[in-house]
Amino acid sequence: MPLFVENASLIMSLQDLGRFGFMRFGLPESGPMDWRAFGSANRLVDNPPDSACLEVGFTDASLRLEKDALFAICGVGYQIYLNGRQMPLWMSFWVQKGDRLDFEKTPGGNWVYLAAAGGISSQVWMGSRSVYPKGGLGRLLQRGDRIPIGESTHQSRWDAGWFIPQANRPAYDRDVSAGVIPGPHYERFTDEAQAAFWQQKFKVTSRSDRMGYRLQGENLAHRTGVDLLSQGMVMGEIQVPSDGQPIVMMPDHPTTGGYTSIGTICRPDLPLIAQAQPGISEINFVKINPNDARDRLIKATNDIDKIEKPQEDIWTHL
């Protein structure tokens, strides 16, 4: 049990790529809020892409290391300190038994992901280690918990120092421009609402969590009633209930819903939405087509593999 939780953040859980094939039973995919940061952390310690990571969100956290290990932490909105020394994000580094790792919340984002070489060996539910408390599948981490890590051949300080260049990371910013494919109920909104959806900026509200991000802006009015027969929902879908305020579906989203869908955010831009700060960030939507979304997804996926290591690496000599 090499990771001891000395202080848990507001939302702190274990997530892998997600749980698939169970939406018909009411279980969403779950998985990471920021799939790019999650995938990059695993890549930097040479884990399989579906290895579980520690997801830390919204407030400070701290861990005590009970075993030597190779770590990487990716994301935004945090500064990381190893025994009081600030460490770079988006880079692998070596830790030793007894070390303390602090996650200090800063402006600029919400989530970071800790990957350990060997992956996190937590309980598996329905083929996934992703925690989903609302469905009774595990719980959020608490102070005093211990997190098990699997064995890996990459357990040497000489594996430290690999990093993902800035140009190959998501373009995080305080304000977000996200590509959206118009949804099946787009024509049910008035002409004024359609124009407002593309032209205005929406604030991210504090009523945002792993289930959905609630936005606030000019009301998006419907031509007719807002309610529908329940239908399936997907991550990134933008529902608009009767109050005219959009809700972006996130990894723990409901699997069915009865409100109109004005569009779906393309997967490459979901990390930017996830890192948008409640009460601070503004989001504007840009219309794209499925081919554009596919091309952007291919590029985003390829960027995860573009890691580098400097020849003279101070991080291997800590």
pLDDT tens by residue, 198-239: 999 999 999 999 999 999 999 999 988 777 777 888 999 999
Q: Say if residue 1's pLDDT is above 60.
A: no
Q: Tell me the average pLDDT of the chain.
A: 92
Residue 311's pLDDT is: 58
Three-class secondary structure of residue 314 per DSSP: helix
Rounded CA-CA distance 265/177 in Å is 10
Residues in the chain: 318
Residues 164, 271, 106, CA angle at the centre, nearest 5°?
Answer: 75
Position 312 scores a pLDDT of: 54
Q: Where residue 159 falls among pLDDT bands split at 50, 70, 90?
A: confident
pLDDT band per the 50, 70, 90 thresholds, residue 164: very high
3-state secondary structure of 294: helix
Residue 36 burial (CB < 10 Å; 0-12/13-18/19+)?
A: buried
| Cβ(251)–Cβ(33) below 8 Å | yes
- Are 56 and 12 in contact by the 8 Å Cβ rule? The answer is yes
pLDDT of amino acid 230: 79
pLDDT at 282: 95
At 150 the pLDDT is 85
Structural domains of the chain in order of their starting residue, each with its CATH number: 3-164 (no CATH), 176-287 (2.40.100.10)
Q: Within a 10 A sphere around the Cβ of 8, how many other Cβ atoms?
A: 20
Mean pLDDT within 136-155: 88
Helices (H) and strands (E) in the chain, counts: 4, 19
In the prediction, which pLDDT does 113 show? 98
For the segment 231-249, the average pLDDT, to the nearest whole number, is 93
Query: Tell me: the pLDDT tens digits for 264-285?
Result: 999 999 999 999 999 999 999 9
3-state SS assignment for residue 35: helix
Percent of the chain whose pLDDT exceeds 90? 86
pLDDT in tens, 51-69: 999 999 999 999 999 989 9
Write down the pLDDT at residue 315.
55
Q: How confident is the model over 173-196, as pLDDT tens digits? A: 999 999 999 998 999 999 999 999
Our measurement of the distance from residue 230's CA atom to the centroid of its chain's CA atoms, rounded to an integer in Å, reads 27
Res 131 pLDDT > 80: yes
Q: 248 - beta bridge partners?
A: 213, 238
pLDDT of residue 209: 93
Q: How many CA atoms lie within 13 A of 163 on its CB side?
A: 17
For tokens 């995919």, what's the residue? 29
Q: What is the pLDDT of residues 8-67, one digit of tens each?
A: 999 999 999 999 999 988 999 999 999 999 999 999 999 999 999 999 999 999 999 998
Q: What is the reported pLDDT for 67? A: 87
Q: Tell me the H-state helices in 167-223.
A: 191-199
pLDDT value of position 318: 52
